[in-house]
Chain A
Amino acid sequence: MKFDAKTREKLAFFILGMIALIIILPIIGVIAYIIKNGAPGLSWEFLTQPPRNGMKEGGIFPAILGTIYLILGTMVFSLPLGILAAIYLVEYARENWLTRTIKLAIINLSGVPSIVYGLFGFAMFVIFLKFGTSILAGSLTLAIMSLPVIITATKEALEAVPKSFREISLSLGATKWQTIRYCVLPYSLPGILTGTVLALSRAAGETAPILFTVAAFYLPRLPRSMFDQVMALPYHLYVISTQIPNMPLSLSFATALVLIVLVFLMNLVSIILRAYFRKKKLW
């Protein structure tokens, strides 16, 4: 049987649509499955109490707090460094071998497997710099991993500011840094924030980089300094779903739900920031 071109087009587009549907349905399925099974296990106690009885009862408060500490720690290290590096690439760097090498390094950093970051963080921060298994070592590891996303987002945001802004500022006698500080950075802030929140939400969900650098199997007391270990949500989910026999599934589902909600909330913040600033865009 031979179809004419129009029929073939309809058939092809139908198949493409079906493919899109095949991809969307499991995404909805996974989210719905976790919400349905996780919601019954959620309670105030679950969110605010430490685990008890070999983690088979109680809550996950130390893990939530640990993950928040790690997000903050990651931000402290990766945000300034990422922004400065992006400023260098956009405003200062000339097209030479150094710039090309930096760009290649960023591409490479974004492709390094997360477990290799874990290995490196362990060798460098935990052992070589003697930070021990600690929030500091984990945050630094996650920060290096987040750099490529932050740099790329910042670069795009800086490049989107029209060249004329810089020219006017320079022609009025402002220095290069004054120009960047007062005429470029304020307008690229939304893009930078969006990228940063996105990068941090990735970091919050990562398990492999924190396996040997910070995560504690079970540690009900809260950390007192940045040289302490902490529990973390993703690692906790890994532990209770693979290492604890006869773990009540409802708690695992509830933990997965909390982790997903945390990550989605951060994504939502970045989307709202983007929409809010886009409305206020001045040029």
Chain B
Amino acid sequence: MFSKLQKIKESILEFFIRGSGILIILFVVLIFLFLLKDSLFFFKSYPLKDFFTQKKWLPISEPPSFGIIPLLLGSIYVTFFAIIICVPLGMGCAMFIAEVAPSFLRNILKSFVEILAAIPSVVLGFIGIVWLGPLVKKIFSIPTGMCGFTGSLLLAFMALPTIISISEDALRSVPYTYKEAAFGLGATKWQTLWRVILPAASSGIIAAIMLGIGRVIGETMVVMMVTGNSPIIPSSILEPLRTLTATIASEMGETVRGGLHYFALFSVGLILFIITFIINFLADLFLHRSKK
């Protein structure tokens, strides 16, 4: 039989194992509560309505104006264009890897996608400053290359690994019998891919796109470095703008701890947290549906 000591040891270990599981939930709750707590301080002295309807973000003017609209629009603009660029590319690449490429080519392509995923965002931001920004400036002959479009291009690039790997998984998990049935009816490989496999993998692909959106909205360094950092409502993607993430990153260092501006940035963080929470939750629903 087991000694008493062994039993005690076992139950202590079990306690720690269970505790770790629960700690994960606690972290999410803590993140939410810390953001909420400081946001409530903000909304005590600044009306919630103004936060969502004011069209100007002027944190240090007198009186200050904390309208989240320009920042939200900045994020939406940049994300929209990045997704428009990277979804067709990512889908095409995923289809090529999953169904067309021979196995040696598949492995090469997959390692390149892994390399891309490994490049730190600050390095891509740096590339944006020294190379892509000036290039965009020249091509569109605009006053500055540090604009939304440059950011969108880099973000599209960064979202590719997420979109490619999840779509590829979705395409590959379509049962082989579907394919056989299509071939049996005389369909070509392309017809099978386009009309049978793609629709069958659609919920996994939707999940891939949503996770890509989540990745783009949450990205900070690249947008802070290349989108020009100007918190005004952009009239076109070729103008400087500023996203929610970049606002927190660039202003937090200069605020007075405990001031209105400081708390305002936590409210921006809370909005970001809620947006990404919803996106990831929905993406997970789609992923589960595709697994069934």
Binding site for B on A (CB under 8 A): 5-6, 8-9, 12-13, 15-17, 19-20, 22-24, 26-28, 30-31, 33-34, 81, 84-85, 87-89, 91-93, 98, 101-102, 104-120, 122-124, 127-128, 144, 147, 151, 175-177, 201-202, 204-208, 211-212, 234-235, 237-238, 241-242, 249, 252, 256, 259-260, 263-264, 267
Contact = CB atoms under 8 A, between A and B. Distances in A.
B178 interface: no
Nearest to A268: B118
B2 interface: yes
B276 A88 contact: no
B23 A256 contact: no
Contacts of B27: 105, 109, 144, 147
Contact of A105 (B28, B188, B269): B28
B100 A13 contact: yes
B120 A211 contact: no
B71 to A, nearest CB: 13
Given A88-B17, A212-B253, A23 B269 contact: no
Contact of A106 (B24, B38, B273, B279): B24
A115 B269 contact: yes
A177 B14 contact: yes
A264 B115 contact: yes
7 contacts: A85-B20, A91-B17, A107-B281, A123-B266, A177-B10, A177-B13, A263-B119
B261 to A, nearest CB: 14
A19 to B, nearest CB: 3
Given A116-B269, A176-B10, A15 B123 contact: no
A34 B89 CA distance: 24
B4 to A, nearest CB: 13
Interface string B185-200: 0001111001000000
Contacts of B35: 116, 119-120, 123
B237 interface: no
A207 B189 CA distance: 45
Given A23-B112, A108-B281, A252-B130, 18 more contacts: A12-B190, A13-B190, A17-B96, A19-B93, A23-B113, A84-B16, A85-B24, A88-B17, A92-B21, A105-B25, A113-B245, A114-B220, A118-B249, A147-B24, A237-B122, A241-B225, A259-B120, A264-B115
Interface of B: 2, 6, 9-10, 13-14, 16-25, 27-28, 30-31, 34-35, 37-38, 88-90, 92-93, 95-97, 100-101, 109, 112-116, 118-127, 129-131, 157, 160, 164, 188-191, 194, 211, 214, 217-221, 225, 245, 248-249, 252-253, 257, 265-266, 269, 272-273, 276-277, 279-281, 284
A24 B118 CA distance: 14
Contacts of B28: 105, 108-109
A115 B249 contact: yes
B122 A88 contact: no
Contacts of A92: 14, 17-18, 21
A30 B124 contact: yes
B284 A124 contact: no
A28 B6 CA distance: 56
B17 A33 contact: no
A168 B109 CA distance: 41
Nearest to B25: A105
Given A104-B284, A105-B28, A212-B253, A24 B273 contact: no
Nearest to A237: B122
A101 B25 contact: yes
Contacts of B9: 177
B93 A256 contact: no
Q: Give 6 closest A-B pairs by Cβ, nearest first.
A: A205-B120, A113-B218, A19-B92, A111-B280, A84-B20, A9-B190
A234 B97 CA distance: 32
